[in-house]
Structure 1
Amino acid sequence: MTHPHSHPHPEQHLASSAMLQDIVIGLSDGLTVPFALAAGLSGAVDSSNLVITAGLAEIVAGSIAMGLGGYLAGRTEVDHYQAELAREYQEVREVPHVERAEVEDLLAEIGLSETTRKLAVAELTADPDQWVRFMMKYELGLEQPDPKQAPKSAATISLAYAAGGLIPLSAYFFTATPNQGLLWSAVITLVCLLVFGYLKSRLTGQPPLGGAFKMAGIGALAAAAAFWVAKLISA
């Protein structure tokens, strides 16, 4: 039965925020890294099939690596929270007078009077679980992470990377030479980077036009560097 004063919305907002962050991470790398690879290969080989094969291999490897990175980051957050939780329970058991003093200090920082602080400390420390939750949140600044978030992050980042990577590679499926593919890939990718950078900046409260050009500039620089390095090596 749901308590009439329970508030499910913060959890929904947190989940949405985490998913949006994972999509941004996957898409931004997916758009830039395969684009730079394809551009570099275009300066070194004469076959679009080679660019496509190498690009697909990179997308598969990159999406797995990015997904694994997202999973490990999520698990690290959970493990860190559990370790700090165990430490707080130990301190509450072994040095309760020190922990009570810390609770009172935290309440003093937010401006509670001494009389109110004494009552609040007595009530907060009456229940060890409530006491530890208070210390985790207000002393350490830690929110309990969702243990299911790690596999969700892995899947979201991996799929976003693959989707982003197929965008610059798609031009090579419909062009005869790598140079033609690079031209159309650059146009398609830079437009996507502009749109993605604009939307990302709006969602995060940053100047949207600046974010759009920044994202496109990073992608263009990465592709140009890869192209000229491949040209120099092949020469």
Structure 2
Amino acid sequence: MSHASSAPALPGEPTRDGLPPMPPGPAHEESHFASLAPLRDLLSGAADGLVLPFAVTAALAALGVAPAPILLSGLAVAAAGAVSAGLGHAMAARREAAHYLAERAREEEESRLYPERERWEVAAILHRYGLRGDLLRQAVEAIAGDRRRWVDFMMRFELDLSEPDPRQAARSALALGLGQALGGLLPLLPYLLAAAPADALVASAGLTAAGLLGLGGLKARASGLPPMGGALQALALGLLSGMAAWMAAAALG
């Protein structure tokens, strides 16, 4: 009995589709970033969620408001920010999906009404990548031989559009909203314990600064960016927002 059919394909050996198996190498980049997307969204929401509750509570503390009203105001701001972030992202994803479908319908119609023009556009794109002569003609025929593949090619390489994943959009919206809610609670913790607004404000500023540094660094690292730069950028944003709110309240009060 022959066991040739069960033997693994060697590197470079064509498969039944004519494409050799993927050579060994690092983890696939798309899978890596897809797995980090929920974490990035959660960290992004948490880092953003720190800023507005801290700014509002800092302004109220500058006016001498008691800790209890400050806490309630901060909770309201945190809740509103979480809902706004989650729903805003979901609505943006719906608009993106609708735009993609509209552009795809237009490309499908043009491939039926103006096939020669669309073939020329495929050739023009491939020409930019160095294909010439018979190889260019064969590539155009291979792509245009299947309408779905044809339209997929035009969506990706002419319009630079990728089909949105509705499940990923829903997960991102949920992660952003949850992150906003959790991040917004951190600046409010001192107002549960401190008797004086000034003491609570100092503690809240310290917690917020630490949270911005940590979350900003983690967010940057999950996005493949230098953690220190992300941490400092997040801290600068939080400090500027808090100082602006405190100075405005002090001036008006």
Taking structure 2 as the reference length, the TM-score comes to 0.84
* Percent pairwise identity: 41
Match of 2:38 in 1: 19
Counterparts of 1:226 and 1:127, CA distance in 2: 59
User: Among residues 215, 221, 227, which one is paired with 1:196 in the alignment?
Assistant: 215
Match of 1:166 in 2: 185
Does 1:184 find its partner at 2:231?
no
Shift of 1:21: 4.1
Match of 1:229 in 2: 248
Counterparts of 2:93 and 2:213, CA distance in 1: 29
Counterparts of 2:135 and 2:178, CA distance in 1: 52
Q: Deviations over 1:105-133 (max 9, x none)?
A: 11111111210111111121111111111
Shift of 1:54: 0.5
Does 1:36 find its partner at 2:55?
yes
Alignment of 1:128-167 (within 5 A): 128-167=147-186
SS at match of 1:141: coil
Gaps of 5+ in 2: 1-15, 23-27
What is the aligned length?
232
Alignment of 1:67-86 (within 5 A): 67-86=86-105
Shift of 1:11: 5.5
Does 1:95 find its partner at 2:114?
yes
Is the 1:167–1:189 Cα contact (8 Å) retained in structure 2? yes
Pick which of 124-133 and 9-18 moved more.
9-18
Is the 1:43–1:231 Cα contact (8 Å) retained in structure 2? yes
SS at match of 2:189: helix
Letter in 2 for 1:98: R
Is the 1:67–1:158 Cα contact (8 Å) retained in structure 2? yes
Q: Deviations over 1:41-88 (max 9, x none)?
A: 111133100011101111111111111111011111111111111010
Counterparts of 1:143 and 1:62, CA distance in 2: 29
Pick which of 66-75 and 21-30 moved more.
21-30
- Cα pair distance change 1:44/1:164, threshold 3 Å: same
Is the 1:73–1:150 Cα contact (8 Å) retained in structure 2? no
Gaps of 5+ in 1: none
- Cα pair distance change 1:188/1:202, threshold 3 Å: same
Does 1:113 find its partner at 2:154?
no
Match of 2:84 in 1: 65
Shift of 1:151: 2.2
Shift of 1:100: 0.4
Match of 2:11 in 1: none
Shift of 1:137: 1.1
Counterparts of 1:124 and 1:25, CA distance in 2: 39
Counterparts of 1:198 and 1:221, CA distance in 2: 18
CA RMSD of aligned residues (A): 2.3
SS at match of 1:164: helix
Letter in 2 for 1:229: A
